[in-house]
């Protein structure tokens, strides 16, 4: 009998198995990355304890505000970049018969996201300037090893946030693909998985 699905069941089963294995690898990578985040946060706490011992309360506040804002600004930039990419993709994949209102809504959303992304880039530039101010403060108080730890902590904090987001996006995409594939299988085939 003819099925409405163009892929043979055996091939679909292989795809399900392959996607499931890839998702498992990605989830293991996420666990490993979470350990790296934990280790980096521990390093940050050590640096902060040292800063607290040798700097003035005002300088400590500058350090803490910078570290807190680093998380927020990097996450904001990533979020806006992702949203902008999705709107761009939606605009690029519009059909000929798409209503002008829908096209205009997406175009307006794109303009707004571009502006928000530009604003976020300005926040990041401001944050980079503040990082140099904090570095100069710490350079006059901290021993070389603690200063190196601080630089490593800041660099890794941003890199780990970015890596976490990429990994989460890959996992989400894989889960969506697996769900679509599973939904396309006949019920008895799904039950055996």
- Pick from 91, 103, 40, 76: nearest CA to 165: 76
Tokens of 31: 């666990």
pLDDT at 183 exceeding the cut of 70: yes
* Rounded average pLDDT over 29-43: 97
pLDDT of residue 13: 86
Q: pLDDT at residue 167 above 50?
A: yes
The mean pLDDT of 90-113, rounded to a whole number, is 92
Measured distance CA(153)–CA(174) in Å, rounded: 31
Mean pLDDT (the chain) is: 92
Q: What is the DSSP letter of 96?
A: T
Contact (CB, 8 A) for 151 and 66: no
What's the pTM value of the predicted model, to 2 decimals? 0.80
Helix ranges, 55-143 (H):
57-92, 100-139
pLDDT at 6: 61
- Can you read off the two tokens belonging to residue 25? 């690898």
The span from the CA of 45 to the CA of 150, in Å, is 10
7 or 164, which is more confident?
164
Closest CA to 78 of 183, 169, 189: 169
Gap between the Cα atoms of 169 and 159, Å rounded: 15
Q: Say what the pLDDT of residue 193 is.
A: 65
CA separation (Å) from 51 to 71, 72, 137, 153? 19, 22, 10, 13
CB of 149 closer than 8 Å to CB of 47: yes
pLDDT higher than 50, residue 100: yes
Q: What is the mean pLDDT of residues 74-86?
A: 94
């Amino acid at each position: 009998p003819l099925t409405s699905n163009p892929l043979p069941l055996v091939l679909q089963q292989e795809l399900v198995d392959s996607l499931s294995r890839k998702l498992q690898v990605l989830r293991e990578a996420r666990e490993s990355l979470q350990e790296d985040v934990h280790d980096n946060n521990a390093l940050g706490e050590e640096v902060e304890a040292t800063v607290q011992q040798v700097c003035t309360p005002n300088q400590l506040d500058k350090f803490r505000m910078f570290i807190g804002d680093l998380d927020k600004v990097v996450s904001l930039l990533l979020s806006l970049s992702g949203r902008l990419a999705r709107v761009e993709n939606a605009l690029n994949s519009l059909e000929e018969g798409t209503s002008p209102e829908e096209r205009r809504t997406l175009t307006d959303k794109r303009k707004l996201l571009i502006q928000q992304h530009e604003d976020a880039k300005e926040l990041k530039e401001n944050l980079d300037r503040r990082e140099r101010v904090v570095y100069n403060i710490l350079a006059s108080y901290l021993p070389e090893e603690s200063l190196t730890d601080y630089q490593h902590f800041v660099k890794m904090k941003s890199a780990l946030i970015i890596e976490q987001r990429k990994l989460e996006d890959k996992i989400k995409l894989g889960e969506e693909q697996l769900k679509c594939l599973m939904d396309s299988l006949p019920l008895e085939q799904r039950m055996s998985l």
